[in-house]
Amino acid sequence: MIIREETPEDIEAIHQLTQDAFGQADEAFLVDALRNSEDIALSLVAEDMGIIIGHVLLSRLQAPKKSLALAPLSVAPDHQKRGIGTKLIE
């Protein structure tokens, strides 16, 4: 498994992964909205054998002090409970 920054080619896979991880589309649409607002500070994917199995997003917050929000954190359902989310955060 490798962890790397997302590329434009990853966007569809990230959307599907996020939807699968949460069992609904709300969080996937949140990622899309943040990407469209250009508020993403960092977007990382976990890739295994060419397949995206995890994703984490850090976005800029509108706050008095410069801050970042970590959300959402998504891991493919069949890869959960294996430390992938922890590695993405680290």
Instruction: Please count the residues of the chain.
Output: 90
Task: Kindly report, residue by residue over 18-68, the tens digit of the pLDDT.
Answer: 999 999 999 999 999 999 998 899 999 999 999 999 999 999 998 888 899
In order of 2, 44, 65, 71, 79, the CA distances from 62 in angstroms are 31, 21, 8, 15, 33
Give the model's pLDDT for residue 79. 97
Give the model's pLDDT for residue 22. 97
Topology of domain 2-89 in CATH is Aminopeptidase (3.40.630)
Give the model's pLDDT for residue 38. 87
Question: What's the pTM value of the predicted model, to 2 decimals?
Answer: 0.93
